[in-house]
Amino acid sequence: MNNVLQPTGDQVRAFRDRATGEPIAMLNLLKFRERALYEDGRETDLSGRDAYKLYAAGFREVTEPRGVKILYAGDVRGLLIGAGDDLWDEVALIQYPSAQVMLDMLRDETYQQAQQHRAAGLEGQLLIECASGGAF
């Protein structure tokens, strides 16, 4: 698994171009490191999950005033259909009032400071943009 923490320029442009002004949801699939690993080499006793919790606190500080809602967050217990156990540790579904709110968040200084904990805590991740509609 390749731990890519930032979208490419092409991904950001495509995300921006898909924007409708309507709310979106981001499905977050997260795999934590056993031990946090900070880019600056600092010593730490934090687990990857603990480092990610520090990121999550900064994330909420920036996003809650902007109307972002955590619709669901929980641990992965196993698969009912498919193969590939142990790919992800946690999932979260986060609703943003619009794609622009998420883009603004990415530029926020407080959010950028919290990113160090995200990078230290994650072994891998997927962020999947979701829109309303669908079969359900």
Distance between alpha carbon 118 and the CA centroid of its chain, in Å?
A: 8
| Long-range contacts formed by 68-75: CB under 8 A, 24+ apart | 68/94, 68/95, 68/96, 68/97, 68/101, 68/105, 69/94, 69/95, 70/94, 71/25, 71/95
Taking only the tens place, the pLDDT of each residue in 57-92 is 999 999 999 999 999 999 999 988 988 878 899 999
Is residue 70 situated within a structural domain? yes
How many domains would you assign to the chain? Answer: 1
CA angle (39, 77, 61) in 5-degree steps? 45
Nearest to 38 by CA among 23, 50, 26: 50
Is residue 43 situated within a structural domain? yes
pLDDT for the residue 35? 98
Residues of the chain falling short of pLDDT 50: none
What amino acid occupies position 113?
Q
CATH of the domain at 91: 3.30.70.100
pLDDT for the residue 90? 97
What amino acid occupies position 43?
E
Is residue 80 situated within a structural domain? yes
Q: How far apart are the first and last CA of the chain?
A: 31
Is residue 1 situated within a structural domain? no
Is residue 78 situated within a structural domain? yes
Is residue 69 situated within a structural domain? yes
pLDDT for the residue 85? 74
Domain containing 84: what range? 21-130
**Model pTM score:** 0.90
pLDDT for the residue 32? 96
Is residue 106 situated within a structural domain? yes
Polymer length of the chain? 136
Is residue 13 situated within a structural domain? no
